[in-house]
Chain A
Amino acid sequence: MKSDKIFKYLLFSASFLVIIVAAGMVFTLSSGAIPAFKEFGLKFIISNQWNPTEGRESYGALPFIAGTVITSVIALLLCIPLAFSTSLFIAEYFYKKRVAMFLSTMVDLLAGIPSIVYGLWGFYVLRPFIVELGLSPQGYGIFTASLILAIMIIPYATSLSSEIISMVPNDLKEAAYAMGATRLEVIFNVILPNARSGIFASFILAFGRALGETMAVTMLIGNSNIVPTGLFQTGNTMASVIANQFGEADGLKLSSLIAIGLILFVITGLINAIGKLIIKKLA
């Protein structure tokens, strides 16, 4: 039938659009980044200079790559024990109980809070707290940004982890209990080995989220274009430098920012692909 053919064709071309959009993104970012890479070559990635002075312009992405990786790794380290405990609470200790439902709704809500609201809360609540503890005079810096990032990525890690943990077959657990194992032993000797790769994937995906977070980090990291050397030093991430400097950028600077966007795109794409691959293997 003719109408059927047209319809199938329509669906097919719509799907093709996804590929066009993705390819177009790669193409646009690459072509926008060409002037920067032409000017600085591969030094763009390893240089820690960020100097917009007219005539002596020199841009390097190292401070921002370092800032992104450091904040995201710290956020992940903070997130792991919290998200793991919470998913055990939801999917093991209080599985299908009311309190677990409540907790998982709350964690879902955490995912729904806009990034800028996290930033405000971090700025007005977390930052003064850090100052009060005497950890840093202004309260800005790598640690504060990582802390807020950790809170932001917990829901992503928790929802997937708890799903994976709840899928561990009951008879395996019961067999261990029958042997006299305590719950703790069941968790670490039965659940964890079974759910290991799924939990790992959930943390990888959460890490991918942390890499690209913009607003909250921009508001808390202190925005200085240096490679951070301490936990309480200020810095900048790839996302935050784009957000900060895009407004007044043109020419070579704009191209450098687009190049940073390209690097960020590639890194998050790789991390997400790895996470999805692990999950796909599980299914």
Chain B
Amino acid sequence: MSSATIQYNTRSDYRKRKNRLFYWLVIAMSAITVSPILLIIYKLIIQGYKQINWSFFTKVAPNTLEAMTANAQGEVIPGGILNGITGTFLIVVMAAIIAIPVGIMIGLFLYENQGKRFASIVRDISDILQGVPSIVLGLIAYMWVVKPVTHGFSALAGSVALAIMMLPLIIRSTEETMKMIPTSLKEAGLALGVPYYKVILRVLIPTGFSGLSTGILLAISRIIGETAPLMLTTLGSSAVNWDLTKPTSAIPLLVWEFYNDPNMANLIWSSSLFLMGFVLVLNIISKRIAAKQNR
């Protein structure tokens, strides 16, 4: 009798100990998971803040010689990333102009045709498009735009690549947003004899506006740091360029250039910090909007 109890106790102890051990293992592993983000942000801030000044936003990237002299004299590298900022702005705005209207229309179509065969095919293909590696999209845009349309590297080609990246995200978020809107709102409009398209434009889209803008902001934050497709399409430029058919720089492209030039090492961190900050702000704004919506 007593021996059985003792045995039971040790077995129970063993199970409890294993349980505790696993608990701490989970906590330790989770700590390891989050440590990179803290380390990365720390590194970016520590190395990058020195270069962030007024000229960082108002001057174009310096050439190697300027950077070398500044380094030799122990000064802050002159110049900034203006050509990258304007380039990213141009490319992303154009991508958004292409992807947002089409994406919202497709999202509406999927919402209106739930359970239909064609709609589910479109949804599946859009899901697959979302998984296409960005470098492959760069190849595609190269063959669709760079070669036949602009006959050379161009901002437009980069926009096309990024637009294809954005499209599935917009489609998904539009459909999800529309599903959350009570059907009674839609039915009320239709019962009053309002044409179907007006119900969508005047009821569904305004009601789902915050959901739609969350999706758009998140999609932009996803594409703004893309480097690989731009290397194959927009190439880069040392001056500010507003022409869609000309090679254009972008912040991630500048980071890549700085990375390949040892003299520019100091500029890498500030540009990355700026890029990262931008992505963060977009994320936070979209989360705020989503939180407000839920309340």
Contact = CB atoms under 8 A, between A and B. Distances in A.
Q: Is chain B's interface secondary structure helix, strand, loop, or mixed overall? A: helix
A34 to B, nearest CB: 13
Interface string B203-221: 0000000000000000001
A258 B139 contact: yes
A182 interface: yes
Interface string B140-173: 1001100000000000000000001001000100
B157 to A, nearest CB: 13
Contacts of A213: 133
A212 B39 contact: no
A17 B32 CA distance: 43
Interface residues of B, number: 79
Interface residues of A, number: 81
Given A12-B109, A243-B228, A113 B125 contact: no
Interface of B: 15-16, 18-19, 22-23, 25-30, 32-34, 36-40, 43-44, 102, 105-106, 108-110, 112, 118-119, 121-122, 124-136, 138-140, 143-144, 164, 167, 171, 195-197, 200, 221-222, 224-228, 231-232, 252, 255-256, 259, 268-269, 272, 275-276, 279-280, 283
10 tightest Cβ-Cβ pairs between the two chains A and B: A114-B225, A212-B133, A85-B29, A272-B131, A7-B197, A14-B105, A214-B228, A182-B19, A11-B109, A89-B30
Interface of A: 1, 3-4, 6-8, 10-12, 14-15, 17-19, 21-22, 24-25, 28-29, 32, 81-83, 85-86, 88-89, 93, 103, 106-110, 112-121, 123-125, 151, 154, 158, 182-185, 187, 205, 208-209, 211-215, 219, 239, 242-243, 246-247, 257-258, 261, 264-265, 268-269, 271-273, 276
18 contacts: A10-B105, A14-B106, A18-B106, A19-B125, A21-B164, A29-B139, A82-B32, A93-B27, A103-B33, A113-B37, A121-B36, A208-B131, A214-B135, A239-B135, A242-B138, A264-B133, A271-B131, A273-B124
